[in-house]
């Protein structure tokens, strides 16, 4: 176990990807990571599905009982710009983390390379300041129409990493409404709770403030700022965006302390880098009257079982 440093500077990057362009978005990520590192950040966080995009407004031509040729074309473009883990793209991201001297936490669309290669996952990747890929978390339950394009992760990718700046881990967007998933993260001792999201609504702010108080942890929520004119006009199903607002995602990234108060209030309407110095001693300060997995727990009454075994379709003997 590493000795914790009491104060850490973090950076939450609210930005848009170069939509449907993996390589250009990796380049943008590298630039913004260096910029955050130059501001003194030791942990740098990017939004959900940052590379190559959160496909807001698109259905990929899918309706119940039917798909379209045009939808398959856009799906293939999305698949083709997703990231294999590991790959040259992850090597570039790791090198960016190394050069900036930061822990880099970023949402990507991961292309399965363990079996058929035909499934995409909404994934968070964790890189160390040495440039090493520490691990990943795959979203356990894509929400609503997300299930058309993303597969489900399993319990084998629920990591919490011990760093000199506290224990870090992530749940993605509406996974954070799963009380048992949160309980699992608390039980792992999470201190810097990272919540990449695509939700810019006011209700999301209530969510992250609740989690901070419930978990007695810092919550770092990171969203994209995206406008409709950022989408490539040559999408085969571009007409699906006709009814979408000009601002597709207004942001709302924020940082919350362990008593539910904003360290950095939500930012809307622009790309920005939120910088904050977090004092881990505030966590112990907050735990006088509540610790969800300590003195306020009742293991004699409630027990959570978490299956962290990787699930396979076929078991070979």
In the annotation, is 42 catalytic? Answer: no
What does DSSP assign to residue 311? P
H or E element that contains 285: helix 281-286
Residues in the chain: 317
Cα dist from 208 to 116, 197, 214, 217, 265, whole Å: 36, 11, 10, 11, 12
CB 212 within 8 A of CB 286: no
Q: How many CB atoms lie within 10 A of CB 223?
A: 28
Which one is catalytic: 28, 42, 136, 139?
139
Which one is catalytic: 122, 173, 217, 222?
173
What would the two tokens of residue 268 be? 């809307």
Closest to 197 (Cα-Cα) out of 253, 275, 257, 263? 253
In the annotation, is 167 catalytic? Answer: no
Cα separation, 69 vs 130, in Å, equals: 44
Closest to 246 (Cα-Cα) out of 230, 231, 227? 227
CB 288 within 8 A of CB 33: no
Closest to 253 (Cα-Cα) out of 22, 19, 30, 36? 36
Burial bucket for residue 98 (CB in 10 Å: 0-12, 13-18, 19+): middle
Which one is catalytic: 48, 110, 175, 240?
48
Residues β-bridged to residue 161: 168
In the annotation, is 217 catalytic? Answer: no
Catalytic amino acids?
A: 48, 139, 173
């Amino acid at each position: 176990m590493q000795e914790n440093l009491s104060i850490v500077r973090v950076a939450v990057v609210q930005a848009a990807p170069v939509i449907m362009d993996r390589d250009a978005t990796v380049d943008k990520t590298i630039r913004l990571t260096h910029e955050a590192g130059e501001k003194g950040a030791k942990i740098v966080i990017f939004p959900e599905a940052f590379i190559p995009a959160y496909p807001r407004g698109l259905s990929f031509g899918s309706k119940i009982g039917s798909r379209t040729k045009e939808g398959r074309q856009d799906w293939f473009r999305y698949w083709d710009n997703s990231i294999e883990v590991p790959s040259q793209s992850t090597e570039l991201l790791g090198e960016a983390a190394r050069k900036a001297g930061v822990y880099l936490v970023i949402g990507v669309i991961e292309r399965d390379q363990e079996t058929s290669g035909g499934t995409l996952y909404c994934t968070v990747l964790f890189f160390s300041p040495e440039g090493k890929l520490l691990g990943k978390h795959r979203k356990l339950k894509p929400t609503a129409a997300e299930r058309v394009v993303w597969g489900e992760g399993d319990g084998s990718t629920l990591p919490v990493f011990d760093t000199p700046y506290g224990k870090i881990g992530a749940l993605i967007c509406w996974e954070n409404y799963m009380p048992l998933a949160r309980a699992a993260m608390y039980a792992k001792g999470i201190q810097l709770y990272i919540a990449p999201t695509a939700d810019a609504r006011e209700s999301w702010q209530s969510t992250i403030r609740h989690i901070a108080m419930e978990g007695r942890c810092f919550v770092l929520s990171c969203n994209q700022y995206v406008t409709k004119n950022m989408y490539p006009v040559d999408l085969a199903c571009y007409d699906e965006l006709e009814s979408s607002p000009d601002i597709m995602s207004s942001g709302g990234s924020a940082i919350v302390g362990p008593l539910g108060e904003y360290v950095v209030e939500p930012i809307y309407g622009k790309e920005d880098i939120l910088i904050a110095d977090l004092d881990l001693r505030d966590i112990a300060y907050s735990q006088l009257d509540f610790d969800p997995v300590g003195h306020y727990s009742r293991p004699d009454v409630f027990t959570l079982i978490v299956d962290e075994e990787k699930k396979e379709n076929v078991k070979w003997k």
